[in-house]
């Protein structure tokens, strides 16, 4: 009997191992995916240098380090050479003008890169910005740069909806919301000055609960972001929202941002069905009343809670022409659609021209979770988290569960 | 013949309110409360959400000291918590507005669900700790 159980156990283990190695991505016809790195840790955002050196930002230290530089020295398409540096966890990473920028949850650092795009002083980065709010919740600091020497950083609101008591049923919203002075928006800093604090930066845009995906669109020279919308509409207001509405609402949103704009959090949320800014029930809303007339509208509303974690405008020539200047968005997948199934462990594409969507969004790459139905997010084998475009025009996708990186190419090799 | 008392005991266990003078609420009430107040964050399987919501499985916070567990529900938890080397950041608001009986029911439920096999929490135990906390403030 004991042996039989042991046998069953070993079969189960080997089946699991096989399943983990066989996550097959579903892609549009003609595209192919290759796993180019595995088991790199909790890989959040990724960035690539012009010579193909890939940088990964880790949410959990690996041997005491939070940045991985990967190289494919033998040119077989798989990254095998790694260098670990940076003693801080975080999400944001970017390469610009022979500098590597990386964020912790309260600061931004800069590493000068040598001719091979390796950090010259891996132990001594320049500290560009420090002292940003980090209260655990929504603490990740995503970054991107424009072409005129500025860096943009998300400072997520350490709150769900700016209640007097965070996430407590019945606790009213704070009017005006004091969090917005130092969080709940995008801040702009100089990309080259050292030791900047809030006083040196500009609150570039506000009313953004938690931006995790952001990218500079070079076609129209503007900042675009993807926002994680609020939680707990159904749980806290069952008289206004049923379970289905609570799973679908509010929309996860995609905005084009200009300096000084306000996207309305916490006072309103975007209802993607009504296509309206609906007043939050904590601020007197009833699911119908509109609010915040001054606030801008998003370019697109996605189903609720899918967690858009990365945004990338495609500028390559490898993919078919319809992809040029369109947006790829990596969705991390939801945790708070229960009692419905969790959804959205995928990469989405939205065709765009002149900075404006020209059609509906579509699922571009799916199957990362390795499972048809996900009830709880920890069942997902992989969760997409970061995106970058390789010099040859391929799209790279990172995963923060098992630390895989996929390279998606066209046409089939 | 010997099996009858065991069956009775099991019945008593499942419908403990009827066996212990209504002090330990039954599991149906606990499950209902869990679905209503806890499941969206702690998940249907009690597994929590990586980096956000702590799991209710394989942790002494749930199966261990009842006083600590009751206190978390009554006061909420506003600091990051470390469980099995993983940090969880999302705050939990106080559930002090639930009755002592409801808190006992839901805590009993989580201590006996998701593979947990711990003891029940009684209404009296919650009342006692609520009083102690009130005296402290």
pLDDT tens digits, B39-98:
989 999 999 998 899 999 999 999 999 999 999 999 999 889 999 888 999 899 999 999
Residue A331 in any domain: the answer is yes
Residue A369 in any domain: the answer is yes
Query: What is the total count of domains within chain A?
Result: 1
Residue A87 in any domain: the answer is no
What structural domains does chain B harbor? 3-14+25-45+61-77+91-136 (1.10.760.10)
Contact between A137 and B41 using a beta-carbon 8 Å cutoff: no
Q: Which domain holds residue A369?
A: 32-57+161-193+205-409
Q: Of the ranges A79-93, A322-336, B14-28, B107-121, which one carries the lowest mean pLDDT score? A: B14-28
**Helical residues (DSSP H) of chain B, grouped into ranges:** 3-14, 16-19, 27-33, 39-42, 60-63, 66-75, 100-111, 123-136
Q: How confident is the model at residue B10 (pLDDT cuts 50, 70, 90)?
A: very low
- pLDDT on residue A390: 97
Contact between A59 and B39 using a beta-carbon 8 Å cutoff: no
Q: CA gyration radius for chain B? A: 16
Q: Does A23 touch chain B (CB under 8 A)?
A: no
Q: What is the CATH number of the domain that holds A44?
A: 2.120.10
Among B36, B39, B93, pick the best mutation site for testing chain A contact (most A Cβ within 10 A).
B93
Query: Which residues from chain A sit within 8 angstroms of residue B96, using beta carbons?
Result: none
Q: Nearest CA to CA, how far is B81 from chain A (Å)?
A: 10
Residue A26 in any domain: the answer is no
Are the C-beta atoms of residues B122 and B104 closer than 8 Å to each other? yes
- pLDDT on residue B136: 79
Among B91, B97, B113, pick the best mutation site for testing chain A contact (most A Cβ within 10 A).
B91
Residue A3 in any domain: the answer is no
Residue A322 in any domain: the answer is yes
Cβ partners under 8 Å of residue A231, min gap 6: A160, A167, A305, A336, B40
Q: Does A247 touch chain B (CB under 8 A)?
A: no
Residue A15 in any domain: the answer is no
Cβ neighbours, 10 Å, residue A349: 21
Query: Which residues from chain A sit within 8 angstroms of residue B49, using beta carbons?
Result: 335, 376-378
Q: What is the mean pLDDT of residues A108-122?
A: 97
Residue A387 in any domain: the answer is yes
Query: Which residues from chain A sit within 8 angstroms of residue B93, using beta carbons?
Result: 165-169, 171
Among A170, A247, A378, pick the best mutation site for testing chain B contact (most B Cβ within 10 A).
A378
């Amino acid at each position: 009997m004991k042996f039989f159980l042991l046998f069953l156990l070993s079969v189960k283990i080997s089946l699991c191992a096989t399943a983990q190695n066989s996550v097959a991505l579903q892609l549009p016809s003609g595209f192919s995916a290759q796993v180019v790195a595995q088991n790199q840790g909790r890989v959040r955002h990724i960035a690539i240098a012009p010579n193909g050196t890939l940088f990964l930002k880790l949410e959990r230290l690996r041997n005491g380090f939070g940045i991985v530089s990967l190289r494919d020295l033998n040119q077989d398409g798989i990254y095998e050479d790694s260098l670990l540096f940076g003693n801080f966890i975080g999400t944001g990473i970017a390469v610009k003008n022979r500098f590597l920028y990386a964020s912790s949850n309260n600061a931004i650092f800069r590493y000068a890169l040598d001719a091979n795009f390796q950090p010259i002083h891996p132990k001594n980065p320049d500290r560009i910005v420090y002292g940003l709010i980090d209260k655990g919740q929504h603490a990740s600091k995503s970054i991107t740069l424009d072409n005129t020497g500025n860096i943009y950083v998300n400072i997520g609101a350490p709150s769900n909806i700016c209640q007097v008591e965070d996430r407590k049923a019945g606790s009213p919203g704070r009017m005006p919301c004091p969090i917005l002075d130092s969080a709940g928006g995008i801040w702009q800093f100089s990309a080259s000055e050292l030791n900047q604090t809030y006083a040196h930066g500009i609150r570039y845009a506000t009313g953004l609960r938690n931006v995790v995906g952001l990218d500079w669109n070079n076609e129209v020279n503007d900042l675009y972001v993807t926002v994680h919308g609020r939680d707990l509409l159904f749980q806290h207001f069952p008289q206004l929202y049923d379970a289905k509405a609570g799973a679908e609402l509010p929309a996860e949103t995609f905005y084009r941002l200009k300096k000084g704009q306000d996207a309305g959090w916490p006072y309103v949320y975007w209802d993607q069905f009504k296509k309206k800014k609906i007043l939050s029930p904590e601020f007197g809303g009833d699911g119908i009343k509109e609010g915040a007339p001054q606030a801008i509208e998003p370019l697109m509303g996605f189903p609720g809670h899918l967690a858009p974690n990365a945004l990338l405008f495609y500028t390559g020539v490898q993919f078919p022409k319809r992809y040029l200047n369109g947006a790829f968005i990596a969705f991390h997948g939801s945790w708070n659609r229960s009692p419905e199934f969790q959804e959205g462990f995928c990469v989405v594409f939205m065709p765009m021209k002149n900075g404006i969507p020209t059609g509906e969004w579509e699922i571009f790459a799916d199957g990362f979770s390795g499972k048809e139905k996900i009830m709880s997010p920890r069942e997902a084998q992989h969760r997409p988290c970061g995106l970058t475009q390789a010099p040859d025009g391929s799209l790279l996708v990172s995963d923060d569960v098992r630390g895989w990186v996929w390279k998606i190419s066209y046409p089939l090799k | 013949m010997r099996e009858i008392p065991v069956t009775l005991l099991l019945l008593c266990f499942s419908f403990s309110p009827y066996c212990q003078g209504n002090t330990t609420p039954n599991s149906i009430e606990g499950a209902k409360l869990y679905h209503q107040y806890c499941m969206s964050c702690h998940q249907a399987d009690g597994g929590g959400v990586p980096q956000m919501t702590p799991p209710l499985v394989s942790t002494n916070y749930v199966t261990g000291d009842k006083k600590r567990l009751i206190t978390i529900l009554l006061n909420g938890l506003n600091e990051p918590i470390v469980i099995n080397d993983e940090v969880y950041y999302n705050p939990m608001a106080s559930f002090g507005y639930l009755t002592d009986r409801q808190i006992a029911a839901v805590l009993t439920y989580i201590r006996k669900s998701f593979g947990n096999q711990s003891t029940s929490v009684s209404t009296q135990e919650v009342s006692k700790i609520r009083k102690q906390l009130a005296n402290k403030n």
